Amino acid sequence: MPSSSATSIELGDTRISDYAELLRYLDLKSQCGATHAVPVTSDDESPRIFALIIGVNKYADPEIKNLRGAVADAEVIRDFLRDKLGVNKHHIRMLTNCKATRQSIIDAFKSFQNNSEIRKGDAILIYYAGHGQEVKATGGWATENGNKMVQSIVPHDFMSNGNVHVIPDKTIGCLINNIMLEKGDNITVIFDCCNSGSGTRNSDPNVIARSAFLKNYAIPPNLDDEITQTYRERAAAQSAKDTPGSLTSHVFIAACSAYEQALERDGRGQFTMALEKVLHSVSLSEISYVDLMDRLEHLVSQNPQLEGINRHRMVFNEKAVPRTRNLYKVHITPNGEYILQAGGADGVSLNAQFTLYADIEAFHGNDPIGVYKAQDIRAFQSALSLVSVSNSTRSLGISGIALQTRVGVQEELKVHVPLEDGLIPVFEALLMHINQPSARLWSFALVDRSAADLEIQREGDDIIFYILDKRVTCQGLTRCISKAKPEPLHIRHIFQGAAHYYYHLNRSYLNSENLGNFLTIEFMKLQSTWNYDDIGTSEWEPVGENLIKDGMITLDIDDSYSHTNLYGIRIINHGGQDLYPNIFYFDNSELSIELYYSSGGRTQFMTDSPLQKEGGHLNLGFGNGGVRPYEYFIPDGQDVDVGFLKCFFSTSPIDLSSIIQNSPFKTPRDPEASMQYTNANSPDAWCCVLIPIVQRRRSSST
């Protein structure tokens, strides 16, 4: 895939090196007072963040399968802290493979509480990527749900014969609580590993579960007694209000739920890959942990978890302040309206919050006037509305400034466009969108390549759309099959369709109940029964095994005979509630969304459930579902195609028909048509399952 490294463009006598500057240059209004952001260097040379980063690929016990991506994930987190946030490299401790022994990990935890360089309230990050395991508990170990199982992480030197043990969650909890007693509760713990020992090993060699699959191993009753006793003694010396609980000492982010597997795909943990993308798209000083999780793309077979009383805090409790921050001019109009001299071209999005200061001296003196949020956003200006006032005696003058302190609504599409002459029509399309705002239009942002969904390139007279979603590119699909002419109106239409596509693909629709644990989804090849129903339609039946393997479907497509490419879906509801499914197919080659099945929306009458509780079946493509078989084909010019089957389940009917869209590469229509948000909020329970479908063309010699 081509990737341009162009970081500047020369237009006339002007050299332009950033997106906002280029959009200003292209916009005629730039001659009417649009103002550039002013970079300001913060007081600290680097954020006060201290990190322990652990990645284990190789295990000493020959019974444990080695991983491929844990060390790479650990290095990504280290590089982000060091290169993006500017964290002092001496504040980051890396333990990988043979260095990540049980004792080394425990000693590293202890070093935080004894490190005199760490002040109380400094941010502490503990990241682990490797095998996790649920193991049998003995003796007096307290366990959840009385199941006598304890969650743990597996160090490099673990031996199942009992010579070296796992590190159980109780030990980790006591170590973290000891840190909290000394250094405060600004502690973030991220584990990209399995929480459960259940499940089976993956059949696809490119998909590995981060579970050690230990058998006949149990932790001894006195394991780590000295650690737990030390914590009890220290906690006893504290007042009750200062003694940490399991949810107060830290914020905990897990890659999956307790009953799921954390998966590696093609040499990377899919959770850390998704996290990396978000980390590079926002300023951590402007986003809460809850918002951070909400921006993660929907993962295959995984539902990341967020725990902790402080989960609504800004990430690292606002200690991740970048060394260079942008200040914007702000003024009051004669009718009293506050106008920020920054808009969509500067990356300002709806509801972004800004702290206002009377002037630069008030900023350095930390004397704010109040907090305001962006409402009416134009290309280079935004109207602000009051959120809260401060106790400052100063008032906004002609030299007022604003500092962004919280991100706004997430853009539905993130695009990377190299700064090149041939791509000027793309920037003109973006400017057209910004200058014609509408509540019915999707939003998109220009970002670095590492955070983007799509990359735009010019090839001759065509605009090419390259896919950057690693869930897709790892299978060999790297670009959309259609092209666009360098016409801003058409490009704008495609961006709108792409935003609609990625919004609904990546939106996780946070589950109110874990309904997915009670569902079985099967995807099967169909063959004709050679019987016909009452209206003359051929009847079909499933043949062979369930094609969903390791959370993914791989199809061998035979171009010579289309009837061999017909498939059906069976869903079984083992739970205690009737369900209403809605199923869509997301086609990455053309960015279209096809409706596979709908339960229909709410009406004034009770609607029968198509997927009844306690063993109800729904057969699609055959049997009682009322839909024809699903046929697959690979577009000409490709040998592989990748799509996603997205299944929504709710406990009451809901209309999701506005998710459907034709390919935006087709003839442009009104850019506001069929581009509405889908409000999926419901007082009832939700569940959403994402399954990749990889189609590979069968070779003629097969």
Q: What is the pLDDT of residues 153-166, one digit of tens each?
A: 999 999 988 899 99
Q: Which residues of 288-308 are buried (b: 16+ CB within 10 A; e: fewer)?
A: bbebbbebbbbbbbbbbbbeb
Sequence spans of domains, the chain:
49-307, 327-406, 411-506, 519-697
The average pLDDT across 286-311 equals: 87
pLDDT at 190: 96
Task: Examine the pLDDT at 440 and tell me if it is beyond 60.
Answer: no
pLDDT at residue 204, rounded to an integer: 64
Query: What are the C-alpha distances in Å from 486 to residues 19, 348, 453, 462, 551?
Result: 19, 26, 20, 6, 39
Q: Which residues contact 217 (CB under 8 A, 6 or more apart)?
A: 135, 136, 160, 162
Task: Please calculate the CA angle 556-558-560 and round it to the nearest 5 degrees.
Answer: 175
pLDDT digits (tens, 9 = 90+) for 631-665: 998 988 889 999 999 999 988 888 888 889 999 99
Map residue 657 onto helix, strand or coil: helix
Question: Could you tell me where the DSSP H helices lie in 565-655?
Answer: none
Model pLDDT, residue 72: 97
pLDDT of residue 661: 93
Each residue's pLDDT tens digit, 548-587? 998 899 999 887 765 678 999 999 999 999 999 999 999 9
| Nearest by Cα to 234 from 284, 179, 191 | 179
Report the distance separating Cα 316 and Cα 253, nearest Å: 13
pLDDT at 6: 62
Quick: pLDDT tens for 7-47.
677 776 667 777 877 887 777 544 444 445 555 544 445 68
pLDDT at 91: 96
Mean pLDDT of the chain: 83
Q: What is the pLDDT of residues 198-229, one digit of tens each?
A: 444 455 667 888 998 888 888 888 888 888 88
CA-nearest of 207, 255, 261 to 69 is: 207
Does pLDDT of 260 surpass 70? yes
Q: What is the pLDDT of residue 679?
A: 42
246 against 458, higher pLDDT: 458
CB distance 625 to 526 below 8 Å: no
643: helix, strand or coil:
strand
| Structure tokens that stand for 424 in this block | 């000027």
User: Residue 324 — very low, low, confident or very high, per pLDDT cuts 50/70/90?
Assistant: low
pLDDT of 511: 54
Percent of all residues in the chain with a pLDDT value above 70, rounded to a whole number: 82
Six-digit token string for 306: 């967020």
Instruction: Check if the beta carbon of residue 217 is closer than 8 Å to that of residue 153.
Output: no
Residue 606 has pLDDT above 90, yes or no: no
pLDDT for residue 675 is more than 60:
no
Confidence of residue 608 (pLDDT cuts 50, 70, 90): confident
> Is residue 353 a contact partner of residue 287, using CB atoms and an 8 Å limit?
no
According to the CATH classification, is domain 49-307 in 3.40.50.1460?
yes
pLDDT band of residue 236 (cuts 50, 70, 90) is: low
Backbone angles phi, psi at 81, to 5 degrees: -60, -45
DSSP 102-166: HHHHHHHHHHHHH-TTSPTT-EEEEEEES-EEEEE--TT---GGG--EEEEE--TT-BTTTTB--
Q: Yes or no: say if 591 and 466 are a contact pair by the CB < 8 Å rule.
A: no
Please determine, for residue 411, whether its predicted confidence score (pLDDT) is greater than 50: yes
What would the DSSP string read from start to end of 317-350?
Answer: GGT---SEEEEEEEEE-TTS-EEES--GGGT--T
Q: Three-state SS string across 85-98, please?
A: CCCCHHHEEEEEHH
**What is the pTM for the complete model shown?**
0.77
Mean pLDDT lowest among 334-338, 376-380, 612-616, 679-683: 679-683
User: In the prediction, which pLDDT does 12 show?
Assistant: 66
Whether pLDDT at 610 is above 80? yes
pLDDT (mean) for 345-363? 86
Question: What pLDDT is stored for residue 203 in this prediction?
Answer: 55
DSSP 201-237: --SSTTEEESB----S-B--TTTTHHHHHHHHHHHHT
| Burial 535-568, CB ≥16 within 10 A → b, else e | eeeeebebeeeeebebbbbebebeeeeeeebbbb
Each residue of 505-539: pLDDT tens digit? Answer: 987 655 555 677 789 999 999 988 877 665 556 67
Q: What is the pLDDT of residue 29?
A: 43
Both tokens assigned to 662 = 């034709």
Amino acid 202: pLDDT: 52
pLDDT at 676: 40
Among 136-140, 155-159, 541-545, which stretch is predicted with the lowest mean pLDDT? 136-140
- CA dist., res. 390 & res. 373, Å (int): 15
Q: Which of 88-102, 398-412, 541-555 has the lowest mean pLDDT?
A: 398-412
Tell me: the pLDDT tens digits for 145-193? 555 778 899 999 999 888 999 999 889 999 999 999 999 999 999 999 9
692 — pLDDT class (breaks 50, 70, 90): very high
- pLDDT exceeds cutoff 60 at 289: yes
Q: How far is CA 26 from CA 340, 432, 560, in A?
A: 20, 10, 51
> What burial letters (b/e) apply to 259-283, b meaning 16+ CB within 10 Å?
ebbbbbbbebbbbbbbbbbbbbbbb
The single residue listed with the structure tokens 């109380």 is 120
pLDDT band at residue 235 using 50, 70 and 90 as cut-offs: low
